[in-house]
Structure 1
Amino acid sequence: MVKPLYLFFLAVTPFVVEAESFYEYEYEVQEITLESDIPETILEMPSSEQAASPAKKWNHTLPFYAEDIVMNGYDLPLPFGISFIYANVQQDMMLTDLSVGFRDSEKVDIDFVSFENTKSNTHTPQLKLDAWLFPFMNVFATIGKVSGTVGINFTIDGNDALQQLNIDCSQIKNKPVCNALGDKALTVEDIEANLTGMSYSTGMMFVGGWNHYFISVPITFTWTNMDRSETEGYISNILPRVGKQFLFNNGSSLSLYIGTSYLKSQLTLSGSQPIPGTGESIDYKIKQENADKWMGLVGGNYSLNKRWSLAFEYGGIGGDSRQQFIANLSYRY
Structure 2
Amino acid sequence: MKTTIIKWLPAVLLCALQPALAAETAPGLALPDLGYQGNVTPLPPQDGAAAPKQWDRALPFFAQRVVDRGIDLPNPYNVGLSYYYSEQNMLLSNLKVSVNDNPLRSAGFVGFPKSTLENRSEQVQLGAWLLPFMNVYGIVGHIKGGGDIGLSIKADDAVQFITGLDRCSGRRKPDWCGKTLETSARANYNGYSYGLGVTLVGNLDRLFFSLPVTYTVSNISMSDTDAKSLNVAPRVGVNWQLGDYGTMLTYVGATYLHTTVTITGSATLPTSETDIGQDTKVNFSIDEKIANPWNGLAGVHWAVNRNISLLAELGFGARQGYILTAFYRF
TM-score using structure 2 length: 0.81
8 A contact 2:18–2:80 mirrored in 1: yes
8 A contact 1:121–1:148 mirrored in 2: yes
**What's the counterpart of residue 83 of structure 1?**
80
| Secondary structure of 1:230's aligned partner | coil
**What's the counterpart of residue 111 of structure 1?**
108
Deviations 1:237-282 (A, max 9, x none): 111110111112215111100101111222222x46699xxxxx97
Task: Give the alignment partner of residue 251 of structure 2, picking from 243, 247, 257.
Answer: 257
Which AA in structure 2 matches 1:195?
A: Y
Specify every segment of 5 or more residues in structure 1 that has no aligned partner in the other structure, as ranges.
20-27, 45-49, 172-177, 276-280
Q: Distance in 2 between matches of 1:98 and 1:217?
A: 36
Change over 3 Å in CA distance of 1:86–1:305 after alignment to 2:
same
8 A contact 2:42–2:209 mirrored in 1: no
Q: Distance in 2 between matches of 1:155 and 1:103?
A: 19
| Secondary structure of 2:243's aligned partner | coil
Spell out the pairing of 1:14-163 with structure 2 (5 A cutoff): 14-19=23-28, 28-33=29-34, 35-42=37-44, 56-101=53-98, 106-163=103-160
Change over 3 Å in CA distance of 1:240–1:120 after alignment to 2:
same
8 A contact 2:31–2:290 mirrored in 1: no
**What's the counterpart of residue 272 of structure 2?**
none
**What's the counterpart of residue 278 of structure 1?**
none
How much identity, in percent, do the aligned residues show?
28
Q: Distance in 2 between matches of 1:100 and 1:170?
A: 21
Q: Distance in 2 between matches of 1:126 and 1:146?
A: 8
Which AA in structure 1 matches 2:140?
A: I
**What's the counterpart of residue 308 of structure 2?**
308
2:204 is aligned with 1:210: yes
Task: Give the alignment partner of residue 12 of structure 1, picking from 12, 20, 39.
Answer: 20
TM-score using structure 1 length: 0.80
8 A contact 1:55–1:72 mirrored in 2: no
8 A contact 1:87–1:327 mirrored in 2: yes
8 A contact 1:82–1:130 mirrored in 2: yes
| Secondary structure of 1:116's aligned partner | coil
| Secondary structure of 1:328's aligned partner | strand
Change over 3 Å in CA distance of 1:64–1:184 after alignment to 2:
same
8 A contact 1:5–1:43 mirrored in 2: no
Deviations 1:60-102 (A, max 9, x none): 1111111221122111111111000001101111111111357
Q: Distance in 1 between matches of 2:266 and 2:179?
A: 27
Alpha-carbon offset, residue 121 of structure 1? 1.4
Change over 3 Å in CA distance of 1:158–1:105 after alignment to 2:
closer
**What's the counterpart of residue 224 of structure 1?**
218
Q: Distance in 2 between matches of 1:294 and 1:71?
A: 40
Task: Give the alignment partner of residue 184 of structure 1, picking from 179, 182, 201.
Answer: 179
**What's the counterpart of residue 197 of structure 1?**
191
Which AA in structure 2 matches 1:30?
A: L
Aligned-pair Cα RMSD in Å:
3.0
8 A contact 1:257–1:300 mirrored in 2: yes
Kindly tell me the number of residue pairs found equivalent between the two proteins: 300
Alpha-carbon offset, residue 286 of structure 1? 1.0
Q: Distance in 2 between matches of 1:239 and 1:54?
A: 30
Alpha-carbon offset, residue 290 of structure 1? 0.5
8 A contact 2:32–2:146 mirrored in 1: no
Q: Distance in 2 between matches of 1:74 and 1:107?
A: 62
Change over 3 Å in CA distance of 1:294–1:54 after alignment to 2:
closer
Larger CA deviation: 53-62 vs 216-225: 53-62
Specify every segment of 5 or more residues in structure 2 that has no aligned partner in the other structure, as ranges.
1-11, 269-280
| Secondary structure of 2:18's aligned partner | coil
Alpha-carbon offset, residue 285 of structure 1? 2.2
Alpha-carbon offset, residue 9 of structure 1? 2.1
